[in-house]
Homo-oligomer: A and B are copies of this chain.
Amino acid sequence: MKISKLEAHLRVKPGDDDFSLSKIDPRDVDFLGSEKDARAQFEEDVQTIDKLQNLLYADGRKALLVILQGTDTSGKDGTIRGVFTAASPLGMTVTAFKKPNELEAAHDFLWRVHNAVPRHGFIALFNRSHYEDVLVAKVRRIAPKDIIEQRYDQINAFEKLLTETRTTVLKFMLHISKKEQGERLQERLDDPTKNWKFHADDLEDRKLWSEFEAAYETALKRCSTDHAPWYVVPADRKWARNAIIAAIVRNTLENMDLNFPKMPWKPSSFTIK
């Protein structure tokens, strides 16, 4: 599938009232073609992302923000490791947003997020994000309904500011099935080297699966915009998840019109002694 079609296939259409996660199969990989071809394309994309990141850094005028959302075990860490491993840590920041600490909670919900956006020349990766403030905050009733309701527009305005000031925003929802999550959680219990990744809280969230799904649907409907679209990534198969995200990141960088800067001096005017 061509990248433009792939993007259109996975993008949540702004204003699509019929959007429903249940229509998207977390195991669907047919649109990618054969696994072998997709893996080969992925390897090429990862190397190209490395080159484009270098160019983004050299260009220095623009930035890329990649937001990863998804339930526990959906593969946010694995995506960062898989897709961005060839790129240099030099021009990249990663921020994992957890429960706000005291200082963070004493500010508006976008304060800590704004602080972590990429400087020009950089790629910033968000492992969770301000979307938790309309997801877990809604499902667990951490904030009142009318406050949550305000936040969708506040998020859209904030992301508009970023895109209008030369930061491209990509948002990926890693969509896994409840069955797949069960298997991944069980693996964390069975493998002693993965025990540390297991949190009893995750089982509490799992009980609220459909409530989280509904909260995601609303967030994706309300906040997939032309300037900052949401992509739903079928993520039960890790190779497919990585292949999809790498392809979209690569294509996005390629379309950012990045160039090595032209310097205001002539190389011949300098002599190295």
Task: Spell out A's residues near B (CB within 8 Å).
Answer: 58, 60, 77, 80-81, 84-90, 92-94, 96, 125, 127, 182, 185-186, 189-190, 192-193, 195-198, 200, 203, 206, 260-263, 265, 267-268, 270, 272-273
Contact = CB atoms under 8 A, between A and B. Distances in A.
Identical subunits present: 2
B84 A195 contact: no
B93 A267 contact: no
B260 A193 contact: yes
Given A89-B89, A193-B260, 16 more contacts: A80-B90, A81-B88, A85-B89, A89-B92, A89-B125, A90-B94, A90-B127, A93-B93, A189-B268, A192-B260, A195-B261, A195-B263, A196-B260, A198-B267, A198-B270, A203-B272
Contact of A203 (B80, B94, B96, B270): B270
Contacts of A94: 89-90, 92
A84 B89 CA distance: 8
A90 to B, nearest CB: 5
Contacts of A195: 260-263, 267
Nearest to A82: B88
Given A189-B267, A272-B182, A261 B196 contact: yes
A193 B186 CA distance: 50
A88 B88 contact: no
Nearest to A94: B89
A200 B88 CA distance: 26
Given A260-B193, A270-B189, A272-B186, A88 B93 contact: no
A88 B85 contact: yes
Nearest to A76: B90
Contacts of A89: 80, 84-85, 87, 89, 92-94, 125
B88 A80 contact: yes
A12 to B, nearest CB: 26
A177 B197 CA distance: 47
21 contacts: A58-B193, A77-B90, A80-B88, A80-B90, A85-B85, A87-B89, A89-B92, A89-B93, A89-B94, A89-B125, A90-B96, A92-B94, A189-B268, A189-B270, A189-B272, A192-B260, A195-B261, A196-B260, A200-B265, A206-B272, A206-B273
A262 B92 CA distance: 32
Nearest to A77: B90
A196 B58 contact: yes
Contacts of A192: 260
A72 to B, nearest CB: 12
